Structure 1
Amino acid sequence: MVFHSSLLVCVLVLFVSPAVGVTAPGDVTGLAAFKASVIPSTVPAWSCMASWNFAVDPCVTPYRTYFVCGVTCSVDSTGTTHRITGITLDAVGYTGILPVNSLSKLTALQYLDISNNNFHGRIIASTFSTLSSLRTLVLSSNSFSGDLDSALFVKLKTLVTLDLSSNFITGGLPNTLGSLTSLRTLDLSFNRLSGKLPESLPPNIVNIAIRDNRLKGVLSKRTFESLKHLAVVDLAMNNLSGDLEAWLFRLPSLQQINLSNNSFSHISVDNVGSRVRSRLVAVDLSFNIIEGSLPKTLAMRNGFPALVALSLRHNRLKGVIPREYSRFKRLFLDGNFLNGKVPKGFFSVSEVAGSFADNCLDGCPPAVFLCAPEQKPRSVCKEVYGGIKY
């Protein structure tokens, strides 16, 4: 009877005592190594990482004093072991590197966001080589540098979101970028990337942003034509050049495109027709060197029924403003060499926002908000039009 009583007491203790050691040992080791890689003086006492005390288990609940934030846990398929599936750091200026022997042990990690801190070094594939479940990787607004490791994109085929923006990453975009078959959102903006766009981009990409880098070359139809889900493209503030051809505006899911602050020289837009209607909502081609006349086709409702915002400001466009452009809700045409009279429809549509200033327009008084502040000097316009009446 004594034996049975002792056994009963042991069983009761197991049920009433807090869970101990419920997190996979490899996860605990990896998380501890990750914290150890951060310079202690950059871990404020009130920060998430300061509460990571490995004298207790990271996944024990309820969280009261330790691991109060920054770590997400989930129970594995056995129902008995917890795995660390997410790390989201607060933006307090943590400083350190990403050592291979830490994150690589967190093999169940699905979400990693260490943005707005001061992590540095090169982003290499081996750091993430075992993270076969990683879906979101956000390393933005840190101090990462060096070239992109081409093997990185081969290893991270499960990624849905990749944000490496606002770092100091250099070099070109590797062709292996196209191997990210699950990727939907890519942001490489505000880095120092150079060279041309790769021939292959992630095939299921929806949003792509590579603004404010040093990319050059033309936009190749081969790069974009297979991107059936592409909705948003932001390649502003680069050194891209050449013609903007009709196929770009016919991409089936494209809604927003920003190619401002580049060196594009010509735009060609054909009428996509009533059977193939573009989904474009906003187009920004400002601050290029685009010549020619305003493409009337962009204002055709049968081809571009959803387009409401157009910016072609500060280019080299000449000729008149088509009256069809009065359908736009936002229209910026300032800083060109447009001439003739402004179609009457614009002055009667009060909800149009934009600017026609700094052109060669006739009868566009500065007192009207669309015409403010003023047009170019007549001498400049005469020189542009070779003495022909403008």
Structure 2
Amino acid sequence: MSNLLLLLLCLSSFLPSHPQVQAATLPSDIYALKALKASIKPNSISPWSCLGSWNFSFDPCSLPRRTYFICGISCSPDSTRVTSLTLDPVGYSGTLTPLLSQLTQLTQLDLSDNSFYGPIPSSLSSLSKLETLSLRSNSFSGNIPPSLTKLASLVSLDISSNALTGPLPVTLSSLSSLTTMDLSFNKLTGSLPRLPPNLVELALKANSLSGSLSQSLFEGITQLEVVELGANRFTGAVQAWFFLIPSLQQVDLANNSFTRIEIQKSGNVKNSQLVAVDLGFNRIKGYLPVNLASFPQMASLSLRYNRFRGPIPWEFYKKASDQSLRRLFLDGNFLNGKPPAGFFSGGSGSSVAGSFGDNCLESCPASSQLCSSSQKPTSVCRQAYGGSTSP
């Protein structure tokens, strides 16, 4: 072996076997990140925040990142594309630049708990790989851009606690991958459109939505577990099909203007997963829906402050005595007669939490927590029953 070859072999032993090659972040991604930082008021960017560490004299995706771009972004394995943008909740204030649409490899965009304002850019619909979009707890205003329903990969959408107005996009059902949607605490109006078919959690509480709950809007939905539509302006009847939605577990329809519950005992009930129902603060008339006690998993039921009449069904006590029903709120109605004595006898039925107060009940012992609120004056009850306290 020649001396030259021997020297080369010796030198090669000191070289790394897998040299690290640092690729540069795509210029359009850098441009989008610069535009985002430029759109935010400088006085809302603290030096110790994620954006405070963004120094564009350095490549955003280069490794190791110990001083610059220390948080806020994640990059692809080859360090060329930004795949996640998650800002820290420190009060960043400004509008959201439409140029974020250039981050076409984003799978997650989370700007929650800051002070962004103005419209949500319709150009976000270009983020075809986006799976999570969270703009929760900001001050975004204007309509929800209909173009967002083009985000076919979107799994989770949370734009709750903003100042959004106008109707829900009519093409909402085209979000075929969406499992979680929270648009609560906005100022949305209009009726429900047809819903995405794979929803698991639906939250639209504290808006000004109106209209009725039509079965066609929930057609084909089989995985829905949570429905939160409280504090809106929905009217009409809550029909039997609604309670029999497969997989349904929790329902909040409180603080609306529903007037009827239409539910019949059904063989399908035995397979129901329904655990909690809140229909309080509506305008529902008639007798208490006794068939709700036939749902095997029912643990919490609130029908408070409606216009129910008649006695408390024995079936409700039976459900409580089986230690299945743990919370029962019936206060603020026009219920009469004597409540089942087992609620107050010290047995398992007496362990249920709730309230029977502000009704027209007889013999509701003041010593019981369930009767801690006094009953309505006799004159009010007689007027409600046409001069008698009997139904």
Q: Deviations over 1:295-333 (max 9, x none)?
A: 111112xxx111111000000000010111122210000
Aligned 8 A contact 1:19 1:60 in 2 = no
Counterpart position of 2:289:
295
1:236-385 equivalence runs, <5 A? 236-273=230-267, 277-300=271-294, 304-326=295-317, 327=319, 328-347=325-344, 348=347, 349-385=349-385
1:121-270 equivalence runs, <5 A? 121-126=118-123, 128-154=124-150, 156-198=151-193, 200-270=194-264
Select which of 116, 119, 124 maps to 1:119: 116
- The CA distance in 1 between the partners of 2:389 and 2:227, in whole Å, is 39
Counterpart position of 2:83:
85
Q: What's the TM-score, normalizing by structure 1?
A: 0.91
Amino acid in the other structure paired with 1:125: S
Q: Structure 1 unaligned segments of length 5 or more: list them.
A: none
Counterpart position of 1:95:
93
Amino acid in the other structure paired with 1:85: T
1:4-83 equivalence runs, <5 A? 12=15, 20-75=22-77, 80-83=78-81
Select which of 88, 100, 104 maps to 2:101: 104
- The CA distance in 2 between the partners of 1:170 and 1:180, in whole Å, is 20
- The CA distance in 2 between the partners of 1:388 and 1:49, in whole Å, is 70
- The CA distance in 2 between the partners of 1:334 and 1:19, in whole Å, is 70
Aligned 8 A contact 2:29 2:103 in 1 = yes
Q: Deviations over 1:154-208 (max 9, x none)?
A: 2x1110000111111111112111110000000111111111111x111111111
Q: Deviations over 1:346-374 (max 9, x none)?
A: 12324311110101111012221000121
- The CA distance in 2 between the partners of 1:295 and 1:139, in whole Å, is 39
Aligned 8 A contact 2:163 2:186 in 1 = yes
Larger deviation, residues 142-151 vs 176-185: 142-151
Aligned 8 A contact 1:124 1:148 in 2 = no
Q: Structure 2 unaligned segments of length 5 or more: list them.
A: 320-324
Q: Deviations over 1:212-237 (max 9, x none)?
A: 11111111111013211111110100
Amino acid in the other structure paired with 1:143: S
Give secondary structure in 2 for the equivalent of 1:379: helix
- Quote the sequence identity (%): 52
Q: Deviations over 1:269-320 (max 9, x none)?
A: 11121675221110000000000001111112xxx11111100000000001
Q: CA deviation at 1:148?
A: 1.9
Aligned 8 A contact 1:37 1:98 in 2 = yes
Give secondary structure in 1 for the equivalent of 2:126: coil
Q: What's the TM-score, normalizing by structure 2?
A: 0.90
Corresponding residue pairs, total? 374
Aligned 8 A contact 1:308 1:330 in 2 = yes
Q: Deviations over 1:25-62 (max 9, x none)?
A: 33222222211221111101111110111222223334
Q: Deviations over 1:135-166 (max 9, x none)?
A: 00001111111112212212x11100001111
Give secondary structure in 2 for the equivalent of 1:370: helix
- The CA distance in 2 between the partners of 1:248 and 1:64, in whole Å, is 53
